[in-house]
Chains A and B, each alone.
Chain A
Amino acid sequence: MLINKDNLLDEQLMKLYQNGDEEAFKLLYDRHSSKIYGFLKKRLNSSEKVAEVYQEVFIKIHKSKHLYNDSLPLLAWIFTVTRTVMIDEIRKDNKIKVADSYDLEQISEELEKTVPQFEQALDNLQHLPEQQKAAVEMRYLNDQTFEKIAESLNVSPSNARQIISRGIKRLRELVNEGDKS
């Protein structure tokens, strides 16, 4: 009996694809490739890198398709694979500066939310101990990775993170003190 695969749900198509059905893969590709490409395009800064990671995502999907459990929505699974591959690729690629972008974004967002006067906070940098000041400057003004900062300060990367975190905490306190007075 011939099945019209166009009407099948993603999860049903995935089941067929898991059994090596190329047509099912093509249908899934038609349905979701633009989401994957668009998501990567917004986050990676060169079209070559987007194309490279895009291909990696599909290879990863292919290689781990047997791990997909059809009780979960396929789209969320595809997204998780996409995001994981993208983060792994960013971490691998030292040339691209967005390494640690998630940490950077996370910390920056936190900073911007809790310290509205971000520039004022930077003015207070001089009140920090020398090591903290250097670490925060390298991280937020020079956009350096934790590994690079750790190397410059001659400490481990996790120590570098701690130093920066303490520096940010101190800056926040300084700003709060400034607001009160």
Chain B
Amino acid sequence: MSKKNNEWLNDYQDFLNSENTQVPKDVSSDLMLKMHSLINPSALVVFLKILAIHLVTGFLSLSVCHQFGMNPFNTNYSLADWFMTVGGHSVCMIGCGVTFVSISLFAAGYFLTVEEVKALKRTEFLQNLTLGLISLGLFAAVGAELAVGMAGLWLLGSLLGGFFATLAIGRIKLFAL
């Protein structure tokens, strides 16, 4: 056995023999507080993380799916055109909402921890609704013309996209373990 392995084994033995050491109460309680916050992250912090990712991903997604006619990358092809051809205005609005929010949530899912995904699932509706409303607000702020009916359909799409994306992220993250 190599010297390093021997050293490791001696240390391991020593580790096992330390069983009766008392952990000071203040050290233990400080640690438990810290671990509690890591295992139960705040839904607001999770939302802010998702929002930050959404701002970048949502903007980039405009290159493949123009929202409310916005085409900052001047691309010729858009999923919105396909939605329009397939099902007209209503399908286009819902499809665009689904695409816009779900792409961002999938991207966010890559960066979120299991605990954060759980926090997202706990507050799923609120998170998705807020994300959709903020997105609509930003579109309006940069000059998109939003009709109430169309915006409502888009919001519905974003909620659906958020729901399915959250479901998928939860399954991938939890079953991946």
| Nearest CB on A from B31, distance (A) | 6
Query: B-side binding surface: helix, strand, loop or mixed?
Result: helix
Q: A residues bordering B, Cβ < 8 Å?
A: 15, 18-20, 22, 25-26, 29, 33-39, 41-42, 47, 51, 54-55, 58-59, 62, 66, 75-76, 79, 82-83, 102, 106
Contacts A26-B32, A79-B11 known; 8 new A-B pairs at CB < 8 A: A20-B118, A22-B40, A25-B35, A25-B39, A47-B24, A54-B31, A55-B34, A76-B12
Q: Are A39 and B30 in contact (CB under 8 A)?
A: no
B17 nearest in chain A by CB position:
A38
Tell me, in angstroms, the Cα distance from A19 to B118 when the chains sit together. Answer: 9
Cross-chain contact of B35 among A19, A51, A62, A66 (Cβ < 8 A):
A62
Instruction: Classify the secondary structure of A's interface with B.
Output: helix
Q: Is the CB of A34 within 8 A of B22?
A: yes
Mind listing 23 A-B residue pairs with CB under 8 Å? A19-B114, A25-B35, A34-B18, A34-B20, A34-B21, A35-B21, A37-B21, A37-B22, A38-B20, A38-B21, A41-B18, A42-B14, A47-B24, A54-B27, A55-B31, A59-B38, A62-B35, A62-B38, A66-B114, A66-B177, A75-B16, A79-B12, A102-B7
Interface string of B23-46 (1 = CB under 8 A from A): 110011011101110111000000
What is the interface of chain B, defined by CB distance below 8 A to chain A?
3, 7-8, 11-12, 14-24, 27-28, 30-32, 34-36, 38-40, 114-115, 118, 174, 177
User: Quick one: which of B19, B30, B36, B114 contacts A20, CB cutoff 8 A?
Assistant: B114
- Minimum C-beta distance from B15 to chain A (A): 4
Measured in the bound complex, the distance between the Cα atoms of B21 and A37 in whole Å is 7
> Do B38 and A37 touch (CB < 8 A)?
no
Query: In the assembled complex, which residues on chain A have CB atoms less than 8 Å from the CB atom of B8?
Result: 83
- Nearest CB of B to A121, in Å: 21
B111 CB, nearest partner CB in chain A, Å: 14
- Which residues on B sit within 8 Å (CB–CB) of A33? 23, 28
Question: Once bound together, how far apart are the Cα atoms of A54 and B114, in whole Å?
Answer: 23
